[in-house]
Structure 1
Amino acid sequence: MKRVAQFVAAALTVGMMGMHAGAQAQEYPGSKPVSAVVPFSAGGPTDKVARELVMIMSKHLGTTMVIENLGGAGGTIGAKKVAQAKNDGYTILIHHIGMSTAPALYRNLGFDPLKDFETIGEIADVPMVMVGNKNLPPASFKELLPYIKANASKLSLANAGIGSASHLCGLLFLSAIQTDLTTVPYKGTAPALTDILGGQVNLMCDQTTNIAGQLKAGALKPYAAMQSRRVEAFKDIPTAAEQGLPGVEVKIWHAMYAPKGTPKPVVDKLSAALQKAVTDPTFRAKMAELGAEAVPAQRATPESLKTFLAGEIGKWSPVIKKAGVYAD
């Protein structure tokens, strides 16, 4: 009888917990704001995507979404904070490709991208473009490659810090051309961009969301789109493949996550709002202005992102390990 009573008590407890979680999910989000942590500084490429997204997604979710910038350590500080946050759906993470490269870059990461988060969905893809200071002599990518070979000891390649999108793109580029340049890591994209505009460094591979204004103004010399097809917003920029360097493709994708254990109905509500946002004409137009592309609704789902993230971790780990680069 005692065992039966214990079993009944346990079953009732589990049932009550399920009812409580269900009630919470039904009420979610109510009028309480949702904090979207961007693990990079304000004004950067990921921040730009996130701010455009939350303005649209807030309407579909039915509550205010507030951006919280928490930069540092290649996005791992902000990601770790969300991994440890209360799993009630009011703290989420908007991160980029760094979620898939961090396991190889950081030997003591402090979280597991696949085990410590609930995936919500992808947001947008951002192309990378190899750009140079406008006074750099080569007029095209075809001219740039032999120029680099002849002047490797004199040239510098900037990036926004170890593990950043620009660093990863640079790694693949240097590996493809089998030439070493002086790499100059900065504490963020803004100072790197300032120095390339000022001529202190020669080259950088960066996201269109960050350099769209400078490209349109002619302040940077665009050499190649680092993807298989031309960038929709900058169709006059040939791809690297078109100009003799096939296989160098870097797509910077952005996605949304919640802490592990966030109730499925809450995740589903967030994902549903995200799917409406990425198909919203206003958001798609804003992404196009930045040279980015909002994902289709079927990629803005938990299942799609989980599969994609696992594949990206598998893709980047050997590349980073071969380069012998660590961020810690």
Structure 2
Amino acid sequence: MNTKSLTVRLLQIGASLFIGLNSSLAIADTYPSKPIKAIVPFAPGSTTDQIGRAFAAKMSETLGQPVVIENKPGANGLIGADFVAKAPADGYTILIGTNSTNAALKSLVKNLPYNQDTAFTPIGYFGSAPLIVAINNDVPAKSLNGFVSLAKANPGKMTFAYASTSQRVSSEMLASFADIQMTGVSYKSGPNAMTDLIGGQVNMFTSDFGVSLPQVQSGKIRGLAVTSLKRSPVIPELPTVNEALGIKGYELIAFFAAFGPAGMPKDTVLKLNQAINNAAKSKDLVERLSANGFETQAGTPEALGQKIKLETTKWAKAIKEAGMQPE
């Protein structure tokens, strides 16, 4: 090849690289160019669903494209999480994840269909909320201490409902701290479990504020305590579990965040993170969700990644101390 031909060839290669680079940048600049699917791994009406829909609506305003919620409930969130883990990493399928899907399942399921530590890209943190310990109105106990006494007098006869990891672990932890035996009853969704608690099919349900607070306030069930270290300003008359039982160290907070499949483009992650942070700082969203005990908190994808590592260790410890075995 002569010098002239070599020069022409090098120019062609350079032009191709330039076009390819600009095409990649153009793709990044135009994201999102179509609706984004946000998978909620729990049922419609659940707290995760309520929080996911509130954030999705606000994120749409920043991104200029609809963020469409799709519910894929079942197996404590595993079904929805697995769907996202195996989706294309293009930013058009994300997970509204929780402590169940992104911290605790690793310690509860022997053979997860994905590697919890590597299957997801952390995108953005939404916030957290405590749970309310509540019982059916016909249970003859007016306090958590009274319920514990009933459970001690009837080992294994008191039942508790759960539809998520936080709901199950909180009840198992309570049983461990109070040295009582209860029987767990699994439900596909929090609203279904709440229906059975109101109807008396189960005795106790420790659930997210979004599901339980309206029922406690309307008198359909009896609230006994909150699972945080401090009383909730939303329902300050309820003591903490620690106060109610005269113990220390009981705390269980549910958190919510967005994740994508592993390997998402950095620019895409940052655009989604900005939309989430804008939502978390939105006055009307904060006011709406704080009424359900939810506290928003903006943050970076890196901070969420570090939080997930800490939460995974924390939940593994809580699950072990509650005497729960992987299934």
TM-score by length of 2: 0.90
Matched, 1:133 2:136: yes
Partner of 1:304: 303
- How has the CA–CA distance of structure 1 residues 282 and 249 changed in structure 2, closer, same or farther, with 3 Å as cutoff? same
Partner of 2:259: 257
CA distance in 1, matches of 2:16, 2:205: 58
Partner of 2:5: none
Displacement of 1:262:
1.3
Displacement of 1:17:
5.9
Displacement of 1:15:
7.3
CA distance in 2, matches of 1:143, 1:173: 14
Alignment of 1:222-261 (within 5 A): 222-243=223-244, 244-261=246-263
SS in 2 for 1:158: strand
TM-score by length of 1: 0.89
- How has the CA–CA distance of structure 1 residues 324 and 235 changed in structure 2, closer, same or farther, with 3 Å as cutoff? closer
Partner of 1:325: 325
CA distance in 1, matches of 2:229, 2:109: 29
CA distance in 1, matches of 2:221, 2:214: 10
Q: Mean alpha-carbon deviation: is it higher for 263-272 or for 235-244?
A: 235-244
CA distance in 1, matches of 2:24, 2:320: 42
CA distance in 2, matches of 1:170, 1:15: 59
Matched, 1:29 2:32: yes
Displacement of 1:164:
2.6
CA distance in 2, matches of 1:70, 1:145: 35
CA distance in 2, matches of 1:139, 1:111: 44
- How has the CA–CA distance of structure 1 residues 236 and 326 changed in structure 2, closer, same or farther, with 3 Å as cutoff? same
SS in 2 for 1:129: strand
- How has the CA–CA distance of structure 1 residues 88 and 13 changed in structure 2, closer, same or farther, with 3 Å as cutoff? farther
Partner of 1:146: 149
**Contact 2:104 2:165 (C-alpha < 8 Å) held by counterparts:** no
Q: Counterpart amino acid of 1:61? A: L
SS in 2 for 1:253: strand
SS in 1 for 2:154: helix
**Contact 1:38 1:50 (C-alpha < 8 Å) held by counterparts:** yes
**Contact 2:43 2:190 (C-alpha < 8 Å) held by counterparts:** no
Q: Counterpart amino acid of 1:326? A: P
CA distance in 1, matches of 2:117, 2:27: 25
Q: Counterpart amino acid of 2:128? A: D
Partner of 2:219: 218
- Mark the structure with the bigger radius of gyration: 2
Alignment of 1:43-192 (within 5 A): 43-98=45-100, 99-160=102-163, 164-192=165-193
Taking only the aligned residue pairs, the percentage that are identical comes to 32
Partner of 1:4: none
SS in 2 for 1:154: coil
CA distance in 2, matches of 1:182, 1:61: 46
Q: Counterpart amino acid of 2:84? A: V
Cα displacement string for residues 212-238 of structure 1 (whole angstroms, at most 9, x for unaligned residues): 210110111111111101112111111
Q: Counterpart amino acid of 2:185? A: V
SS in 2 for 1:95: strand
**Contact 2:73 2:189 (C-alpha < 8 Å) held by counterparts:** no
CA distance in 2, matches of 1:10, 1:228: 63
Ranges in structure 1 where 5+ consecutive residues have no aligned partner: 2-7
- How has the CA–CA distance of structure 1 residues 133 and 271 changed in structure 2, closer, same or farther, with 3 Å as cutoff? same
Displacement of 1:325:
2.5
* Number of aligned residue pairs: 318
**Contact 2:241 2:250 (C-alpha < 8 Å) held by counterparts:** yes
Q: Mean alpha-carbon deviation: is it higher for 251-260 or for 102-111?
A: 102-111
CA distance in 2, matches of 1:106, 1:13: 49
Partner of 1:203: 204
Partner of 2:41: 39
**Contact 1:21 1:263 (C-alpha < 8 Å) held by counterparts:** no
- How has the CA–CA distance of structure 1 residues 10 and 82 changed in structure 2, closer, same or farther, with 3 Å as cutoff? farther
SS in 2 for 1:80: helix
Q: Counterpart amino acid of 1:189? A: G
CA distance in 2, matches of 1:316, 1:12: 53
- How has the CA–CA distance of structure 1 residues 9 and 206 changed in structure 2, closer, same or farther, with 3 Å as cutoff? farther
- How has the CA–CA distance of structure 1 residues 188 and 14 changed in structure 2, closer, same or farther, with 3 Å as cutoff? farther
- How has the CA–CA distance of structure 1 residues 245 and 145 changed in structure 2, closer, same or farther, with 3 Å as cutoff? farther
